[in-house]
């Protein structure tokens, strides 16, 4: 039994790294501020500063203190950017892993296509008889009769509705979009809800600005913030709000992973 996808393992590792770095920074900056205060007051053991890694030592207490003032705002923005990018990559990676699980693009599509061809060419007489009752434009007066025959035909194990027979083309288009250059993060909610059948109506946020948003609305809100930051137009998002959005992403990732493992990482072929 598959415990977790490789895509999820990578996501979990990178999410933890960015959170660890965030925690480290939240310790480091207050310590730096304390060191600057001790330096200015000539407190013992604060006479000199540790030399910085990678940069030429040109210590300027005023400049460094100014840089440290708004660290929470900047740290929140960059944490959000990184976390969103990691999740975006996870979705693309897990779909590609799913395709490989099912034998690759050609095999995955051919398996479904051949199954549908069998359904279309080997329908029993009972199915053909019921289909005749349903091959007309809808007439309101016949609604009860339609329901009767729809229920009957759905009990036939070798019948597939017309919408289900379109699944081969849907799978082909789905693969082309997610694995190609047309894939964008804006597609992720539709991908999760309509391609994978996930319920995105759940509300898990705690921050006052987000508490009324379901999973889809929260994702769209986070994506809009990410885009604003990327274009240099975002105001201070607020560190607490960013942390709530990070928790949301972790929840959505676990929900997605569990859903895909339970319903999609299931073998359809024996070779």
pLDDT for position 174: 94
pLDDT value at residue 75? 93
pLDDT value at position 57? 67
Nearest to 89 by CA among 1, 9, 22, 172: 9
Query: What is the pTM assigned to this prediction?
Result: 0.89
What pLDDT is attached to residue 59?
75
Alpha-helix residue ranges (DSSP H) falling in 41-122: 61-69, 71-101, 105-121
The predicted pLDDT at position 168 comes to 94
- pLDDT at residue number 154: 92
Mean pLDDT per 10-residue segment, the chain (271 residues): 92 96 94 89 82 78 86 92 96 97 95 90 89 91 93 90 93 94 94 96 97 98 94 84 97 97 92 74
Burial (CB count within 10 angstroms: exposed 0-12, middle 13-18, buried 19+), residue 151: exposed
Domain ranges of the chain: 6-103+184-263
Q: 3-state DSSP helix/strand/coil percent for the chain, to nearest 5?
A: 70, 0, 30
């Amino acid at each position: 039994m598959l415990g977790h996808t490789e895509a999820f393992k990578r996501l979990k590792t990178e999410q933890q790294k960015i959170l660890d770095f965030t925690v480290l920074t939240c310790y480091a900056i207050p310590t730096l501020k304390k060191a600057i205060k001790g330096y200015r007051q000539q407190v013992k053991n604060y006479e000199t500063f540790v030399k910085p890694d990678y940069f030429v030592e040109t210590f300027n207490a005023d400049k460094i203190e100014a840089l440290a003032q708004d660290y929470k705002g900047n740290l929140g923005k960059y944490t959000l950017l990184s976390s969103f990018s990691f999740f975006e990559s996870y979705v693309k990676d897990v779909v590609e892993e799913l395709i490989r699980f099912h034998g690759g693009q050609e095999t995955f599509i051919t398996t479904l296509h051949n199954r549908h061809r069998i359904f279309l060419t080997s329908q029993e007489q009972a199915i053909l008889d019921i289909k005749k009752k349903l091959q007309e434009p809808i007439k309101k007066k016949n609604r009860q009769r339609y329901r009767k025959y729809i229920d009957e035909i759905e009990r036939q194990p070798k019948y597939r509705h017309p919408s289900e027979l379109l699944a081969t083309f849907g799978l082909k288009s789905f693969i082309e979009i997610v694995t190609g250059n047309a894939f964008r993060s804006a597609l992720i909610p539709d991908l999760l809800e309509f391609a994978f059948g996930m319920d995105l109506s759940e509300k898990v946020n705690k921050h006052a600005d987000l508490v009324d948003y379901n999973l889809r609305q929260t994702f769209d809100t986070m994506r809009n913030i990410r885009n604003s930051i990327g274009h240099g137009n975002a105001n201070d998002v607020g560190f607490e709000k960013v942390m709530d959005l990070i928790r949301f992403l972790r929840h959505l990732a676990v929900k997605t992973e569990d859903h895909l493992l339970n319903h999609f990482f299931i073998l359809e072929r024996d070779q």
